[in-house]
Amino acid sequence: MRVWFLSAGLALMCMVQNAAAGTVLIVGDSISAAFGLDTRQGWVSLLEQRLKAEGFDDKVINASISGDTSAGGLARLPTLLAAHKPELVILELGGNDGLRGQPPTQLQQNLAAMIDSSRASGAKVLLLGMQLPPNYGRRYTEAFAKVYSTLADEKQVPLVPFFLKDVGGVPGMMQGDGLHPSVAAQGKLLENVWPTLKPLL
């Protein structure tokens, strides 16, 4: 009888663990797709390793596509939500919108719609903020950066103010094109995200 109770207890513990395990869906662009690198070197792969090391069973789905915009992410999101049923959606989009000079108001609308859709599916949302180089002009760069803080306030979503903090423009942290983080920067990207991400798991 004792053996039966022990076996049942272990089975119950496994069930509880599996029930607690969730899916983290990352919808991003080339930064999260590890453009120019082996994907095993990217920050998303490092996140998977961190989760395992800290005892989390969450599965990570990286749905990031190089060159994607907020409009592209918005178009792809319904299928991704239906397929993966994530508990947490990380939105890492907007950089390509800015580099193409698209209106910040459109970026804000697209990200707002993605936040609403993710929440409607039952998922939490984490927003990763971006900033543009100063050569895009003060007025545009400020309006672009403000999109993320405005959304965080209006939608009450956790925000990493600048995903590329201590990476963008830092020698050795960017690849030769000056746009994409290097291998050396991937751990820093994870550290920029982790303090805000961990409480959501």
**Which residues are marked as active site?**
30, 177, 180
Q: Is residue 130 within 8 Å of residue 164, measured between CB atoms?
A: yes
Picking from 117, 118, 113, the residue whose alpha carbon sits closest to that of residue 89 is: 118
Please give the structure tokens belonging to residue 44: 């998303």
In b/e form, how buried is each residue of 23-36, taking b as 16+ CB within 10 angstroms?
Answer: ebbbbbbbbbbbbb
The whole-angstrom separation of Cα 55 and Cα 97 is 36
Please count the residues of the chain: 201
Helix axes 70-84, 104-120, angle to 10 degrees: 10
The whole-angstrom separation of Cα 33 and Cα 15 is 33
The whole-angstrom separation of Cα 146 and Cα 149 is 5
Q: Is residue 110 within 8 Å of residue 70, measured between CB atoms?
A: yes
